[in-house]
Each structure stands twice: as C-alpha cells, then as structure tokens.
A and B are shown apart, each in its own frame.
Chain A
Amino acid sequence: SQELEQSPQSLIVQEGKNLTINCTSSKTLYGLYWYKQKYGEGLIFLMMLQKGGEEKSHEKITAKLDEKKQQSSLHITASQPSHAGIYLCGADVTGANSKLTFGKGITLSVRP
C-alpha cells in the first residue's frame, strides 16, 4: 500500500467554489509539504507544515496538519482557473528531511 494516500484522485469544481483535498500518511510525519504541478513540468512549492495543529495560508490556499491522524488537508477558497493542476503532498517520514515520499497527486480542474 502507498505510504501517502491522497484523496480524492481527481476533482472538478465550478469556478468560485471551495474545495478540500487530503493527504494521509501511514507513517509518522516529520514534515509535510504541498506542491502544485502543471502536467509535465516541475513542482511549485506551496506550503510546508511541521507541527501538529499547524495551519498556514497563502492567498486563497490554507493547509492544516493533524499530527494525531497523520493527515493534512489543503483548502482552496473561491477557486479560480489558475488553481487547476496536480496537487502533490510530500512527506518526510524518516526525519532526514531530504528524502521525501510523495502521494500520487490529485488532479484539480476548475470550470469557468
């Protein structure tokens, strides 16, 4: 089984709607990273979470870390077409902070 499970696998939302995607780890999380990727391109760093209960926001995107559940959620408020892409969560499950394990990614489409 995957060490990092992301859900849902894909998501289509109407522009302006809010949405939440999740990332659950089967191992202890030492750090959780959210990235966005356009197909075939590099990863764009969004946010990093390290402590249980930590919550960070940037523009319309908010990420939270639930250390007890070993889960992180990413919430987008009032989605826009520019939010479309693949959202990947990466986790440090070794404590080394250099070897990240990634989920399969969630494909988000935003309909104008």
Chain B
Amino acid sequence: KAGVTQTPRYLIKTRGQQVTLSCSPISGHRSVSWYQQTPGQGLQFLFEYFSETQRNKGNFPGRFSGRQFSNSRSEMNVSTLELGDSALYLCASRDARGLVAQYFGPGTRLLVL
C-alpha cells in the first residue's frame, strides 16, 4: 500500500495570507489527524477527522481549520498567517478500527515571511 502523502512539500507565504495543505491517507484508513511541529513547542496535535467529521481538536486558534472528504482525503487551512505559523505540518492516518498506530506523511514545510 502507498503511504500517507502530503502536498505541497514546501510552501512560502507572507503574513496575512491563507494556506491550504492536503493529505491523502493510506488506502482504507478513515481517520486523519494533523499535527504542527516547531523547534520550540515540538509536535502538537491540531485536530482529527473521521468520516468527514471533526472528532478531536487541540488547543489552536480558530484560524486553523480542516475538513475531510468522502474519500478520506483531508485538507487543513490556516487563515491570516502569522510568523509563528512557520512549522512542519504533519498528517497521520490510521485504521480507526481498534487501537492501532498512526502512520505519518512526510510533512509540509511552511515558511511565513
């Protein structure tokens, strides 16, 4: 099976702009979670989607949002970008049946200037 894919891999934006990141989970996985990784805060959970519904949410402002499509692909949107949003954004998918591991994609490196 193909792994989790994320596009784009790299992105440069300026403050105030908005950005949309995409994640395609492993085939058959219906749960997609998003994480932000920065040198200062480490890896932090953003939100999880399952069957097109947000099931869990981390402690991030409302500028961070997401959605999931019927084919389980997910998008994450950040509006009104701030310098502090520069980070590696990782998505992870899992087969939501039972207690199983999350498998991560390669990430999208976002730089906000």
Contacts and interface: CB of A to CB of B under 8 A. Distances in A.
B1 to A, nearest CB: 14
Contact of B43 (A50, A88, A96): A88
Contacts of A50: 99
Contacts of A48: 99-101
A103 B37 CA distance: 11
A40 B56 CA distance: 25
A43 B90 contact: yes
How big is the B interface, by class?
20 to 34
Contact of A99 (B33, B90, B105): B33
Contacts of B102: 33, 45, 90, 98, 100
B79 to A, nearest CB: 23
B64 interface: no
Interface of A: 31, 33, 35, 40-45, 48, 50, 88, 90, 96-105
11 contacts: A33-B102, A40-B88, A42-B104, A43-B104, A45-B101, A45-B103, A48-B99, A96-B55, A98-B55, A98-B96, A99-B48
Interface of B: 4, 31, 33, 35, 42-45, 48, 50, 55-56, 58, 88, 90, 92, 94, 96, 99-107, 109
